[in-house]
């Protein structure tokens, strides 16, 4: 992106209105990501769990004195987001006028060294004192990989997600539907069961199969509908909730 680091001063002159106009979920994700990226640059690419205690989570970084020091770097990432969202809205508007829908793909798991894990560590199987993963995703040996696969993604604390009606997942899906007309979760079956590799306090061993409490998640057909949006196209609404006990 040419000369983007010289441009964020435009943020002080009203050019970033498109970011303020984003839905609340997407606005929070964008704000979290730009602070994460600024800190990532500041710490020379080190993973967030190796950062000093004062910035090892979004909540702590919010009150860190370093946040003011990185104000310009955060503005640079904000301007990059402004360019992306503005251009993407035009792409979607053009597609809608031509009767096209855009399919987006999001993974069932997030990366360990991500703004997702950094900003909400309580939602993942992480060590509370170090931030490191206690267990990660993968699959045992099978026809496709005789040694199995250790993906390294942090696993969800599904009980914590269930306690607040899967608010994080609902926000993630709402944000995805602001970008796409149809969203595919890869792999959706992770809501029902998954493989868990415990890596602390011992090295990775055999995988154990686990059932996700989120197997209680359901899509409520009564709350699925199509509606016209600001681009002139339609998008699919959704609902996540817990099934009533039998």
Per residue in 185-230, pLDDT (tens digit) is: 887 778 778 888 887 655 555 566 676 654 444 444 333 333 334 3
Per residue in 72-124, pLDDT (tens digit) is: 999 888 888 888 888 999 999 999 999 999 999 889 999 999 999 999 999 99
- Please indicate whether residue 117 or residue 11 has the higher confidence score (pLDDT): 117
Per-residue pLDDT at 92: 94
- Cα 103 from Cα 177, distance rounded (Å): 10
Per-residue pLDDT at 216: 42
Mean pLDDT of the region 41-68: 94
Counting residues of the chain whose pLDDT is more than 70, the rounded percentage is 70
- Cα 38 from Cα 147, distance rounded (Å): 38
- Which segment, 11-15, 39-43, 188-192, is predicted with the most confidence on average? 39-43
Question: For residue 87, which of 183, 9, 179, 181 has the smallest C-alpha distance?
Answer: 179
The answer to whether 182 and 103 are in contact (CB under 8 A) is yes
Question: For residue 50, which of 63, 65, 37, 40 has the smallest C-alpha distance?
Answer: 40
Residue ranges with strand state E in the chain: 103-107, 135-139, 149-154, 182-186, 193-198, 208-211, 217-219, 226-228, 234-236, 240-242
Quote the mean pLDDT of the chain.
78
Question: Could you tell me the end-to-end alpha-carbon distance of the chain, in angstroms, rounded to an integer?
Answer: 55
At 29, list the tokens.
């994700």
Query: Does residue 168 have a pLDDT over 70?
Result: yes
């Amino acid at each position: 992106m040419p000369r983007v680091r010289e441009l964020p001063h435009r943020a002080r002159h009203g050019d970033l209105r498109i970011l303020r106009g984003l839905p609340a979920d997407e606005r929070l994700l964008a704000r979290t990501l730009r602070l994460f990226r600024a800190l990532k640059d500041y710490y020379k690419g080190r993973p967030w769990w190796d950062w000093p205690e004062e910035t090892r989570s979004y909540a702590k970084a919010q009150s860190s004195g370093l946040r003011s020091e990185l104000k310009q770097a955060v503005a640079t990432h904000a301007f990059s987001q402004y360019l992306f969202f503005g251009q993407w809205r035009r792409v979607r508007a053009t597609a809608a006028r031509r009767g096209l829908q855009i399919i987006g793909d999001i993974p069932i798991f997030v990366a360990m060294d991500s703004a997702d894990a950094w900003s909400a560590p309580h939602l993942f199987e992480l060590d509370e004192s170090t931030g490191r993963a206690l267990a990660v995703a993968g699959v045992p040996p099978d026809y496709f990989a005789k040694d199995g696969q250790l993906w390294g993604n942090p696993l969800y604390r599904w009980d914590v997600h269930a306690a607040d009606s899967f608010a994080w997942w609902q926000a993630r899906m709402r944000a995805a539907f602001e970008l796409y007309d149809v969203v595919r979760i890869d792999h959706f079956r992770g809501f029902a069961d998954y493989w868990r590799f415990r890596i602390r306090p011992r090295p990775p061993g055999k995988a154990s199969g686990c059932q996700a409490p989120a197997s209680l998640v359901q899509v409520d057909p009564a709350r699925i509908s199509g509606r016209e949006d600001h681009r002139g196209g339609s998008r699919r609404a959704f609902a996540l909730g817990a099934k009533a006990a039998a």
